[in-house]
Amino acid sequence: MFVTVNDIEEAYQALAPVVSRTPLQYDRFLSEKYHATILLKREDLQKVRSFKLRGAYYAIAQANQEKVARGVVCASAGNHAQGVAYTCQERQLSAVIYMPTTTPQQKINQVKFFGGSFVQIKLVGDTFDAASEAAQCFATDNQMAFIAPFDDPAIIAGQGTLAVEILEDAVKEQREIDFVVAAIGGGGLISGTAAYLKGRLPHVRIIGAEPVGAASMQAAFDQGKPIALSKIEKFVDGAAVKKVGDLTYQHARQYVDQLLAVEEGAICQTILELYTKQAIVAEPAGALSVAALDLIKEQIKGKTVVCVISGGNNDSSRMAEIEEKSLIYQGLKHYFIVNFPQRPGALKEFVSHVLGPDDDITRFEYTKKINRGTGPVMLGILLKRKSDLEALLARIDAFDDQYINLQNNQSLYSLLV
């Protein structure tokens, strides 16, 4: 059963007094960068700093009210939980919220803040899927209302209300939209957005952006049905879902024109760019849509593109990791295992004859103490220019022809870096 334009417009009317109407902003930097008109739908400015409030509030309002009175249960990596928590505080409902143990502390704290005394948090499992299974069992056992994060018509309709705002603002500003890019985790956002916009503007191309390490919608497209990925990368926590929903898959199949898988490093580079150039604080999933523009830059030249900044719940403690991933993605930061002669002056020789004039050592660590003539050192080197790498590798090889480039050995990289 597909969610219709009328369903979404009914949700829009119901949510108008509840949610913030977030701006659709022209972005000069991105527009000049991609030779297009780039508009940002700023859901990072929503009351809970993500679009998830829309679906959560509407789904609770549409749920079996007898069960809701006993309490609300949900599972979430963070943003859906905040939407549920905010709603339960507003409506004075008790809630039990299951979150993966890997959820950033900032999101856990925000759930506590929005839910106050009405919310109890349970950290279960390493992934959203494990937390979700536990939450559904708890809701069934206690006859409470389980509020699904994405695979529910009310959730899809609620998330789709941001598309109503996009279209109204575009009409008001006399803009013709050519592309809309939105993140995909479980698929609720892309389903509601696509269902509404395709119903109103069939020519608009809808593009879904997934992290490379959790491309569960692409896997569903490939197999012709939702399937569980054997493993996922959890860095883009707001979109790290092993298996999309049956309903969201059907909507995406029907309405989404293209899926893109975005590298973590590109997402990190975009997070930093949004912050430094536009003063936008985006979480990894929130930056997915903008990071995806690089993959379609030829398609969008001269076009009007809307990117949904879906969330701004970024933990400041992650910024060092984000910067690191960005530098590695740009080809500026590299890690090596190099055997150093265990004698005075070896490091000076390396700095003088191997390191380039603009290169910098960011890490120098003996991996183990040994009694032979050489010892392995883990080196981090920051380049000023990506083009300097080839010459650096040649000089390192002359210094130690047994060196290991850790970027080419992910097992060792994960262990040591």
Residues tagged active-site: 52, 310
Distance CA 145, CA 257 (A): 34
CB 374 within 8 A of CB 339: yes
Spatial CB neighbours of 113, under 8 Å, sequence gap ≥ 6: none
Distance CA 192, CA 183 (A): 12
Q: How would you classify the pairing of strands 205-211 and 179-183? A: parallel
Tell me whether residue 303 is exposed, middle or buried, using C-beta atoms within 10 angstroms of its C-beta: 0 to 12, 13 to 18, 19 or more. Answer: middle
Which amino acid is it at 322? I
DSSP string of 194-220, one letter each residue: HHHHHHH-TTPEEEEEEEGGG-HHHHH
DSSP string of 49-110, one letter each residue: SBTHHHHHHHHHHHS-HHHHHH-EEEE-SSHHHHHHHHHHHHHT--EEEEE-TTS-HHHHHH
CB 134 within 8 A of CB 122: yes
User: Nearest Cα to 130, choosing from 171, 101, 168?
Assistant: 101
β-bridge mates for residue 236, sequence order: none
Half-sphere exposure of 185 (CA within 13 A, CB side): 32
How long, in residues, is the chain? 417
